Structure 1
């Protein structure tokens, strides 16, 4: 029973291999390149999805830890050593800039709370921009796959049709044997281009939505962090 159920799959695989073999060298090269693109696109999508999910979980865990603390500026050094967590990176930059401004102010005899807060807010803004870029990292490669793959498939289609007509003009006959290589290249590269482009565009949209959600969340966190530091300074 199992062998009968898998028979259509084996036949389909065999047919694809036979079509690939019938293709001319240009069609084969384009198909192989698109296959490599497909593997690369899936690796980017799966890796980025896993990364964003882990970062979101770690962000929420770190935020929960901060909520349990009454004072932020006096937290131990361990809270500043978790740079791999975006929320922790913002907090570390803010705290370090605050105390650096305080030390410089004391040396100059001008220890202004406003200057401390301004330095902390500037540090938060810089760290926020850095983490947003981190969220969007590697997305450009996926967008490139979405754009390039259909055009490569179209290139293979046009090339295959051109080869088919060239064969007909040379052989002066329109038999299946004459048209097969060109038509095979045209159809196979078209399918390969769509196989790369369709999952890539779906994956890109899903990941783009996730990165936008994380960006909104970290912007809200940055605002809350700045407010808590300001309120703590006024006590």
Structure 2
């Protein structure tokens, strides 16, 4: 029952808000829905990618050699670890082919090309991990300011309407409470987005560290195999 009256009171306050405040409140509500969609989507994406990475890494551990693995295993570009592996092996053999034609073929040159390819693949996958995070950060920092803008505008309108009249707190209360509605809306959007952003940033850092460790391990294995 209390929740019902609270909701009714919020609707009344929203109705008392001017058009600018209502537009801001509705816009913040839309941003909130988008933010929650992005947060859940990003969490599921990062969890799925980590599971795929671990499965692919386990698959490589079972192989005695990496350089001679079939091409079908290198075509799984949707898996970050597989993308690094594919770029590394393809760069290795491409360098071997070109250097052999020039009569300059040696394992060190092959490995240098392979390691460069790994670094490019890492940068590409890090951008993939961090996708959508800028949008969340923008909502976290921008929503409170949009709410404050609506409040300042509403308070200014409330005082402007009382110009030339004897104003009291009772007369100003409806306009001020309506103005504060946008501040509440901004905080309701920003606070969950802030917690979600910090949580997801932690996940991104975890996956980024795991990616770099995997890249180092991959480079070590390729170096050992090239010397055999």
Fold-level similarity (TM above 0.5) = yes
Give distance in 2, aligned partners of 1:215 and 1:230: 23
Residue 222 of structure 1, aligned match among 203, 206, 215: 215
- TM-score with structure 2 length normalisation? 0.96
Gaps of 5+ in 2: none
Indicate if the aligned counterparts of 1:153 and 1:190 stay in contact, CA closer than 8 A: yes
Tell me whether 1:29 sits opposite 2:23 in the alignment.
yes
Q: 8 Å contact 1:167–1:179 — kept in the other structure?
A: no
Quote the Cα distance in structure 2 between the aligned partners of 1:127 and 1:30. Answer: 42
d(CA) in 2 for partners of 1:32, 1:172: 33
Counterpart of 2:149 in structure 1 is 155
Partner of 1:107: 101
Cα distance change, pair 175–223 in 1 and its aligned pair in 2 (3 A): closer
SS at match of 2:51: helix
Return the TM-score normalized by structure 1: 0.93
- CA deviations on 1:174-193 (whole Å, 9 max, x unpaired) are 364x4255213322111101
Contact 1:117 1:230 in 2 (8 A): yes
Q: What is the alpha-carbon distance in structure 2 between the residues aligned to residue 35 and residue 180 of structure 1? A: 24
Match of 2:187 among 183, 194, 214: 194
Unpaired runs of at least 5, structure 1: 1-6
1:125 aligned onto 2:119: yes
| Separation (CA, whole Å) in 2 of partners of 1:104 and 1:42 | 50
Deviation at 1:15, TM superposition (A): 1.7
On the 8 A contact 1:24/1:181 being kept in 2, the answer is no
CA distance in 2, matches of 1:114, 1:17: 71
Distance 1:122 1:173 in 2: 72
Deviation at 1:170, TM superposition (A): 4.1
Deviation sequence 1:96-142 (CA, Å, 0-9, x none): 00111111122222221111111110000100011011111110000
Provide the C-alpha distance between the structure 1 equivalents of 2:130 and 2:57, rounded to a whole number of angstroms. 22
Residue 9 of structure 1 corresponds to 3
Partner of 1:213: 206
1:24-65, Cα deviation, whole Å (9 max, x unpaired):
111111111111111111111111111111111110010000
Worse-matched range after superposition: 120-129 or 38-47: 38-47
